[in-house]
Structure 1
Amino acid sequence: MTTGAPTPTYPARPRRSRLRTFLPLGIAAWLVLEIWLLTVVAGAASGFTVFLVLLAGFLLGSVVIKRAGRRAFQNLNEALQRGGAPSRSNGGGNGLTMLGGLLLMIPGLISDAVGLLLLIPPVQKGLSNYAERTVERKLREAAPGTLGDAFQQARMHRPDGKVVPGEVVRDEPEPGDMPQDPRPPLTR
């Protein structure tokens, strides 16, 4: 009986996250739903009406993004002048307003509805508070301590998931020492 080379054992591949599994499927379903809804509206009204709705959404989204960008730049300028951090005077800040404007600019009726929903201040405030609580909870679960500890923990992990504690010690020459050149000097 002959035996071949032993089969190498590889570590098990890490499980694919749910987000990476279902996000492409969700985007595809959203695109199909948007196209179907546009064809239904075009059949009920006309193609020109759908074109006007999409054009109005694009123009409104560009105006919203422009105003939110100006407001963000103005807040940053005021904060730099007084030497502090930018304030969050409007509920969710300018990020959610810009996201709402971007969703308005994307062709489709569902994205327009979600974009308009994000422009409502109570929705912005609630979504902002929810996101802030979620990020804080995830940071607490990840590694107890400060944010710097979390970054230190991330640096110590190898791609295969094993933790490698330790330090890097470099042998650096003293300031007065001349480095030795391994090549012999050139002669004539």
Structure 2
Amino acid sequence: MTTGVPPSPAPRKRSRARTFLPLGLAVWLALEIWLLTVVADAAGGLAVLALLVGGALLGAVVVKRAGRRAFRNLTSTFQQAQEAARTGGTPTVPERTGAEDRNGFLMLGGLLLMIPGPISDAAGLLLLVPPVRSFLGRSAEEAVERRMRAASPGSLQGAFQQARMRHPDGKVVQGEVVREDASRSPYRTDGPRPPLTP
């Protein structure tokens, strides 16, 4: 005998990130505190205070520099777009190479320097090295491209591909196709709708 109650959906499995991220953060915090106490025992409390203040100041300088660079890039992009709109051409994306291309990792390095602790300071200093930023940037781009290629057709990447159309002149235009010969709803959207009756 069957009832009209649908079966309850199976509970979703927790992702690995949601399972291990809180544990990893707790271990990292405990390790940072332990290393600070080791440094305090070896070099004294003033050395720990100097380490914390120096890391915070250096991190603030790095974040400020990265923010200025990002604002400068944004301003030049807007100026090029305005110039292209004035002349009727297409805006060109400026070529960015080297350190300018990895500004996000530079800002992350500054933020890690501002967080108190020797491990975060070491990771922040490592991100200040341009070859390390370039390597991490290339790895992140390749990982994103792999995930986008492996995305299923019903995903966000598939929706972006479906929303792109090509103009005859080769430009890509965002939009959707509306067919006029499709069956229309009995209620037209351009006129008043009939009142709802109970």
TM-score by length of 1: 0.75
- Work out which of the residue numbers 53, 68, 71 in structure 2 matches 1:70: 68
Residue equivalent to 1:119: 128
SS of the residue corresponding to residue 142 of structure 1 reads coil
Q: Give the number of aligned pairs.
A: 163
Residue equivalent to 2:96: 88
Q: 1 CA distance for matches of 2:57 and 2:139?
A: 30
Percent identity over paired residues: 55
After superposition, the C-alpha distances for 1:81-129 in whole angstroms (9 at most, x for unaligned) are 2233354333452100000000000011100000000010000000000
Seen in structure 2, the aligned counterparts of structure 1 residues 15 and 81 have a Cα distance that, compared at 3 Å, is: same
Residue equivalent to 1:186: none
**Structure with the greater alpha carbon radius of gyration:** 1
- Work out which of the residue numbers 107, 124, 130 in structure 2 matches 1:98: 107
Q: 2 CA distance for matches of 1:62 and 1:130?
A: 26
Give matches, 1:37-186, under 5 Å: 37-83=35-81, 84-85=92-93, 87-91=95-99, 92-143=101-152, 148-150=157-159, 172-173=187-188, 175=190, 177-181=191-195
- Whether the 8 Å CA contact 1:101–1:115 is kept in 2: the answer is yes
SS of the residue corresponding to residue 80 of structure 1 reads helix
**One-letter amino acid matched to 2:152:** A
Q: Specify every segment of 5 or more residues in structure 1 that has no aligned partner in the other structure, as ranges.
A: 154-168, 184-188
- Whether the 8 Å CA contact 1:75–1:87 is kept in 2: the answer is no
After superposition, the C-alpha distances for 1:127-172 in whole angstroms (9 at most, x for unaligned) are 000000000001111136996524589xxxxxxxxxxxxxxx8654
- Whether the 8 Å CA contact 1:38–1:108 is kept in 2: the answer is yes
SS of the residue corresponding to residue 11 of structure 1 reads coil
Q: 2 CA distance for matches of 1:133 and 1:24?
A: 27
131-140 or 141-150, which deviates more: 141-150
Q: 2 CA distance for matches of 1:6 and 1:174?
A: 37
Residue equivalent to 1:160: none
**One-letter amino acid matched to 1:11:** P
RMSD: 3.0
Residue 26 of structure 1: how far off its partner (Å): 0.3
- Whether the 8 Å CA contact 1:64–1:97 is kept in 2: the answer is yes
**One-letter amino acid matched to 1:130:** S
